[in-house]
Structure 1
Amino acid sequence: MPFPFTVAITGQSLIHHDVRTCRDPGFLQIVDVLKRADVAFTNFEGTILGRHGGSPMKGSYFGCSEPFVLDALKQTGFNVLALANNHAFDLGPPGIMSTLEEVRNRGFLHAGIGLDRDDAATPGVAAFGNRHIALVAMDAGPGPRNMYAENASNRRPSRPGVNQLDVTRIFEADQAIFDMLETIQATFQSSRLERANYAQPDDPPVLDDDKEVDFYGTIFRRSNTNRRVIAVDSESASIQLTAIAQASSRGQFVIAYLHHHHWEPNWRDVPDWVRAFAHACIDAGAGAFVSHGTPVLQPIEIYKRAPVFFGLGNFFFHTEKGETEWSSPDVWKSVVATCIFDTTGSLKIELLPIVLGGEQIDQLDFHQRHVPIAALGKTGEEIIDDLARRSAEFGTFIERDGPLGRIDVA
């Protein structure tokens, strides 16, 4: 692969407002960083209300955007978009088709949704100069089964939707709790048919009857401990890893992207299953792994000389007036990570700290924080120092140079 080249990676972009007229110097500094990179990547956290129409598929946290937000992302400097996330199906299949149409019309490299499962799982590939970049993007939920793309089968047409990494949430429960759950179900006579009815639009799970119980949509497993487990379906994982391996074998630089909402109680912590899957993606041939979902900045790891961004939080995060869920300052802080791959195969990462709405965020309501601003003062230093402390637990050394952070993989 030809070198050097640069890949700039940001937090997720949940964008509803037109930011093209913003002339804040701190925002324009970020725009300059993105435009100087060969590849500038974000996750478009949403769906487009376009000519195919659509109707809301959820109640709270529903979101769709007009096509101009893609023009805003383009002007900001982005040229690569992951489209797999929990908002991609907010308008149903018509929203999937409109999003694909509008993204393609603007020339973005994209992946993560499609007209059927094969289409949604197909890597996006594009040439940037003489370099070929492949993007494999997937969502692990939780989400209803009908948001995920499906191929046509006997008497069933195909379904446009999101590329799924199929995972199952299981609660391991000790004997006392497990017996109590079984007693409750027996009291209310929960039959297999009733469970099937309440599983709609999904299918009821297949259980190990000696060890597991489906307690009204949640699986509990008999155990000696009490804990939550996220189990990745091996066949589903194989589909994603094979796509990565095939793209890598063709000499393409692969970005593996995962979106999920299976967070730890402390949002800043990295789930063990995500770390294991990230390593599997790198082992399969990915040159970088990126994840979003939790709306805060998570540690960075270098695995086999490839960057692993477990969570870069938010880049654009346009909320509705009156929303109060996002009071944590961590929701509004992140970094722009510019990865520089040089001719020797070494890797340097430059970290620019940012604050959505600027460092004086206490002066703005959540719904007024429209753009990220470069944090070049004390707040920026604190962002980098905090990220460095947490990333050190993963063996990553981040050096702070003023308000900026640097990672050097010789």
Structure 2
Amino acid sequence: MNRTIRVSAAGDILIMKRLLPGYQDVLPIREFLMQGEVRMANLETTISDGSCYASAYSGGTWLTADAKCLEDTLRYGFNFLGISNNHTMDYSYEGLASTICELKKKDVAYAGAGKNLYEASRPAILDTTAGQIAVIDICSTFENAARAGSQTERQPGRPGLNPLRFSEKYTITEKHAQDLAEIAEVTGINGLRDLHRQEGFIAPLPEGVMEFGGKMFEISKDGTEGRISSPNPIDVKRTVDAIREAKMTCEAVLVMVHSHEIRKDNDEEADYFLEEFAHACIDAGASAVIGGGTHQLKGIELYHDCPIFYCLGNFIFENQYVRLLPADYMEKYGLNIHTAASIGIARRQEQSSHSHYEIPEVYRSVLPYFEICQGKCTHLELLPVELGMDRENAEKNIPYVADEKTAEKIAEYLTRVSRRYGTEWEYKEGRIVLHA
């Protein structure tokens, strides 16, 4: 019997404070999400009591929220939360352990991080009426110290997130290569790396490739210039192998990926390596790829009749309500280390010329509901939502079902950013659907 697998999803949950008492708008959103037996989103914060020490790095802002915020998140009906993102290790190993502990207390399935690479990369298994569904979670935006490490027979693994590394290659003309070589000579920007390469600590440069400031430049033979990125083959193989292994016992595999990388200079286009990675996942047997990261929607592709949501944008976005920030943050913005978090966030906003809180697209998203049968998508609809950009502060940054005018704008935007994938969208009877 070919059973239908029902899935609903949301974007990034950056929750920092409790939902308002009596907040009723959760109900229509919950009703939509509850159509799926698998209901997934990305938890873009650690969960702790605030006593964990901060890492020397963060995903941009050090994020941790109280367990009560997790309870509020679950009011929407989610039964899977991905925890592989650029904030996974904001509060180091203790913060990760605390987050996992709280998820286990709430009996919420999770994937994407763990006490070693095996745990971080293995899928969560969810039981549904259609059978078992595997969900893999992975992240491409992280400090190198945040990635999980493999255990061996001699040493334990390293706690961290499931990494999707990538490489970049820039192509330049011979003239520009000469210009960079002259700059490198007078500044010494390559000096230490050249020495390390001579000593064998860094691999030799391939023929026709030069380095400048840690970036690799291929010298063009035909005068073309540009940039390309490629996913790390080790990380792709680990994910592809996990998909194929899960397919042996599960009815479907879903992949969640968190990526802030962009193709050029805006948040609308998925980077090259992300497209290649998503296609590899579908080719290996995954039925959908659900992306997050950049704080606005990216395009949606139907690849071999399987949906790829390159980024679903925000579901809850409360970055300005961070209540704890370490001394490192304050020093970065020239503040006394004992400064309150609210003042620290305000200082950052003061120096911004393009704040997230002034961009309408940051406050608009869609929630997909889709059905899978025999590994392919047989039904897809999107609930348009907005995050209260023009509401009072207490009501901002949380999801509401979009009104008709806003929903039509979301559909128009989605069509524009999906054009490269050949999909067009229209608003019809409360939903955004593929244009006939």
TM-score over 0.5 for the pair: yes
Secondary structure of the corresponding residue to residue 10 of structure 1:
strand
Q: How far is the alpha carbon of 1:22 from its aligned partner?
A: 4.8
Aligned residues: 398
User: 411, 416, 421: which one pairs with 1:394?
Assistant: 421
The residue that corresponds to 1:406 in the other structure is 433
Unpaired segments ≥5 residues, structure 1: 198-202
Q: Equivalent residue of 1:384, what SS? A: helix
Shift of 1:385: 3.1
Residues in 2 aligned to 1:343 and 1:217: alpha-carbon distance in whole angstroms? 46
Q: Which moved more, 1:181-190 or 1:373-382?
A: 181-190
* CA apart distance, 1:21: 3.0
Is residue 2:368 matched to residue 1:337? yes
The 2-side partners of 1:236 and 1:281 are apart by: 11
Q: Which moved more, 1:267-276 or 1:292-301?
A: 267-276
Matches of 1:97 and 1:173, distance apart in 2 = 45
Residue of structure 2 equivalent to 1:350: 381
Which residue of structure 1 lines up, in the alignment, with residue 150 of structure 2? Answer: 151
Distance 2:76 2:183 in 1: 55
Cα offset, 1:303, TM superposition: 1.5
What CA deviation, in whole Å up to 9, does each residue of 1:218-267 have, x standing for no partner?
A: 33333343322212121221111110111112233111111112113231
1:35 aligns with 2:62: no
With normalisation by structure 2, the TM-score equals: 0.82
Distance 1:385 1:403, change over 3 A: farther
CA apart distance, 1:207: 4.5
Relative to structure 1, is the Cα distance of residues 353 and 190 closer, same or farther in structure 2, using a 3 angstrom cutoff?
Answer: closer
Per-residue CA distance 1:124-148 (angstroms, 9 max, x = gap): 112134521111111112x321110
With 322-331 and 86-95 compared, the bigger mean Cα shift is at: 322-331
Counterpart in the other structure of 1:123: 123
| Cα distance in 1 for residues equivalent to 2:244 and 2:400 | 37
Partner secondary structure for residue 85 of structure 1: coil
Q: Secondary structure at the match of 2:390?
A: helix
Task: Tell me, in whole angstroms, the C-alpha distance in 1 between the residues paired with 2:115 and 2:375.
Answer: 41
| Structure 2 counterpart of 1:68 | 68
Counterparts of 1:364 and 1:56, CA distance in 2: 34
Do the aligned partners of 1:134 and 1:247 also contact (CA within 8 Å) in 2? yes
What SS does the aligned partner of 2:65 have?
Answer: coil
Match of 1:220 in 2: 217
C-alpha contact 2:190 2:214 (8 A) present in aligned 1: no
**Distance verdict in 2 for CA 1:344–1:363, change over 3 Å:** closer
* Counterpart residue number, 1:200: none
Q: C-alpha displacement at 1:112, in angstroms?
A: 0.6
Structure 2 runs not aligned, ≥5 long:
321-344
For 2:194 and 2:287, the matched residues in 1 are separated by 43
Change (3 A) 1:52 1:131: farther
Q: Which amino acid aligns with 1:405?
A: I
CA RMSD of aligned residues (A): 2.9
Q: 1:206 aligns with which of 203, 208, 216?
A: 203
Q: Which residue of 1 aligns with 2:289?
A: 289
CA contact (8 A) 2:316 2:399 kept: yes
Q: Which amino acid aligns with 1:298?
A: K
Shift in alpha-carbon separation, 1:91–1:345, aligned structure 2, 3 A: closer
Once residues 195 and 166 of structure 2 are traced to their aligned partners in structure 1, the CA distance between those partners, rounded to angstroms, is: 19
Aligned residue for 1:257?
A: 256
SS of 2:361 mapped into structure 1:
helix
Alignment of 1:81 with 2:73, yes or no, is no
CA contact (8 A) 2:315 2:387 kept: yes
Correspondence for 1:45: 44
1:280-332 deviation line (CA, Å, top 9, x unaligned): 11110111111111211112111222111111111111121533520211111
Correspondence for 1:371 among 398, 414, 417: 398
Counterpart contact for 1:165–1:240, Cα < 8 Å:
no
**Which residue pairs with 1:309 in the alignment?**
309
What is the Cα deviation at residue 364 of structure 1?
Answer: 4.5
Change (3 A) 1:173 1:191: closer
Query: Counterparts of 1:124 and 1:67 in 2: how far apart (Å)?
Result: 21
Partner of 1:104: 104
- Given that residues 147 and 161 in structure 2 are in contact (C-alpha distance below 8 angstroms), is that contact kept between their aligned partners in structure 1? yes
Query: Cα–Cα, structure 1 residues 50 and 219, in superposed 2: closer, same or farther, change >3 Å?
Result: farther
Paired residues of 1:85 and 1:139 also in contact (CA < 8 A): yes
Letter in 1 for 2:149: E
Does the aligned pair in 2 maintain the 1:42–1:78 contact within 8 Å?
yes
The whole-number CA distance in structure 2 between the counterparts of 1:369 and 1:55 is: 28
Q: Is the 8 A contact 2:384 2:402 kept in 1?
A: yes
Between 6-15 and 42-51, report the one with greater CA deviation: 42-51
- Does structure 1 conserve the Cα–Cα contact (< 8 Å) formed by 2:193 and 2:202? no
- Answer whether contact 2:382 2:431 (CA < 8 A) is retained: yes
Q: CA deviation at 1:168?
A: 1.6
Name the aligned partner's letter for residue 251 of structure 2.
Q
Distance 1:300-1:184 versus aligned 2 partners, 3 A rule: same
Q: Once the two structures are superposed, what CA deviation does each residue of 1:26-77 show, in whole Å capped at 9, x if it has no partner? A: x421122123421111011122225982323326422122222221221121
SS of match in other structure, 1:308: strand
Checking the alignment, whether the CA contact within 8 Å between 2:133 and 2:250 is kept in structure 1 is no
- For residues 86 and 65 of structure 2, what CA distance do their matches in structure 1 show? 14
Query: Does 2-11 or 385-394 show the bigger shift?
Result: 385-394
Q: Pick from 393, 397, 407 the counterpart of residue 380 of structure 1.
A: 407
When normalised by structure 1's length, the TM-score is 0.87
SS of match in other structure, 1:362: coil
Q: Tell me if structure 1 keeps the 8 A contact 2:18–2:69.
A: yes
Distance 1:404 1:316 in 2: 20
C-alpha separation in 2, matches of 1:166 and 1:241:
14
Indicate the SS of the match to 1:169: strand
Q: Which moved more, 1:382-391 or 1:311-320?
A: 382-391
CA contact (8 A) 1:2 1:131 kept: no
